[in-house]
Amino acid sequence: MVKYLINGGFPLVGSVRISGAKNSALKLMAASLLTTGKVTLHNVPLINDVFTMADVLREIGADVTIGPDSVEIDASGELHHTTPYELVRKMRASIVVMGPLLARLHRARIAMPGGCNIGPRQINFHLSGLEKLGARINADHGFINVATNGLTGDVISLDYPSVGATENVMMAACMARGRTVIESAAREPEIIDLAKFLSSMGANISGAGSDTIIIEGVEELGGATHTVIPDRIEAGTFMVAAAVTEGEVEVEGINPLDLEIFISKLRAVGVDIKEFDHSVRCKGEGGYSSVDISTLPHPGFPTDLQAPMIVLLSLARGHSIVTENVFENRFGFVDELNRLGASVRVSGHHAVVHGDSRLEGTIVEAPDLRAGAALVLAALAASGTTEVGRIGHIDRGYESFEQKLQGLGADIQRVEVETNDRSHFIAPFN
């Protein structure tokens, strides 16, 4: 087992280049199943979730080659319609192979997905959308079975702007007969990235980035080369890191417009931010003010940056109210943060953050991906030494996390820990 040892209290200074977006790369890899042509994806982060998705695709029958900064996928051979439980349980995003398999093979058998334990992420939005396109659906022994005699376009009004459901329906509809209209579609930058990729393969898609996406079905898709967009969540994490350590960090290789609401909240707290075409400079000087936050689907405040923001608010004057509207268990890290000296009280979908906390090093464990990163930020702001365990969660979504922090002056080390407890070898449904 591995953990981080962090000596906090040092300002982060310098520049950091942001990797490709995890939440985009995984869906683009799944979309490669739609074509017999070769797919090349550049700017793919080398993280555990990417390795897991590569293994899922290999089990399906695709040939996947991972290079230093790119992934090549060849799904021209005979494909299998079943995804193995042992892999899918590790990562909820694996559910998005359902749409491509349904379009390509007219059937799919998908193990119920795992991932981070941040609350129920209902797949009924996915299933109802695919059902409208002509899929027959049943479940047995932990698997979802979908089949069709041929997909036909329809008007699909999502009850919630689910990113995964929007992506699954988009991919399935690309080769459905006729027109598909997705109403109340997700508007995230990752949706736009997927639409651009599918269009480069020959799909006919319009409206991505709005709440109405229109897909005109085509008979087949070809290979393509595409560069993954920067990871806005990683970018936000490093911006908060600069703020909580009262440092100055230039976050490079991003689109600031993708973080407009988040940046506005950082400024309201008192963080000095200068925006450029493809970077932001973030300077923290302390004396922060409390603000209230409500997470919402894009373009609202991103739920994935809620935990890092709570760390920052714990250092601000006064008290802040954070409302989680996306995932009900996003506050599962609060007890660990309070162990470091924060004062956060949770009531339902709300967290009251009492500021002016003096964080001090202790032993904590990462309960999930984003919470794990937030605890690292808290440790960097704390006095003394902090041990952060279960960092495998962090490895799922952040490429070279400690190396990038070290490059900014952080005193952080990854260390091996001997243990007889083998529970960490089993990925929880979290």
235: left (phi over 0), alpha (psi -120 to 50) or beta: alpha
For residues 219 and 200, give the distance between their C-alpha atoms in angstroms, rounded to a whole number.
Answer: 15
Q: Kindly tell me the number of DSSP H helices and DSSP E strands found in the chain.
A: 14, 23
CA distances from 220 to 33, 58, 207 (A): 12, 22, 21
CA neighbor of 29 nearest in space, from 127, 103, 78, 96: 96
List, in sequence order, every beta strand (DSSP E) within 217-349: 224-227, 248-252, 272-275, 279-283, 293-294, 319-323, 343-347
Q: Is 252 exposed, middle or buried (0-12, 13-18, 19+ CB in 10 A)?
A: middle
List, in sequence order, every beta strand (DSSP E) within 8-89: 13-17, 38-42, 63-66, 70-74
For residues 113 and 217, give the distance between their C-alpha atoms in angstroms, rounded to a whole number.
Answer: 28
Evaluate whether 375 touches 364 at the Cβ level (below 8 Å).
yes
To the query of whether residue 116 is one of the catalytic residues in this protein, the response is yes
Structure tokens at 216: 């005109």
Choose, from 34, 116, 130, 263, the residue flagged as catalytic.
116
For residues 114 and 170, give the distance between their C-alpha atoms in angstroms, rounded to a whole number.
Answer: 22
Evaluate whether 83 touches 97 at the Cβ level (below 8 Å).
yes
Structure tokens at 326: 């996306």
For residues 414 and 403, give the distance between their C-alpha atoms in angstroms, rounded to a whole number.
Answer: 10
Question: Which residues are annotated as catalytic?
Answer: 116
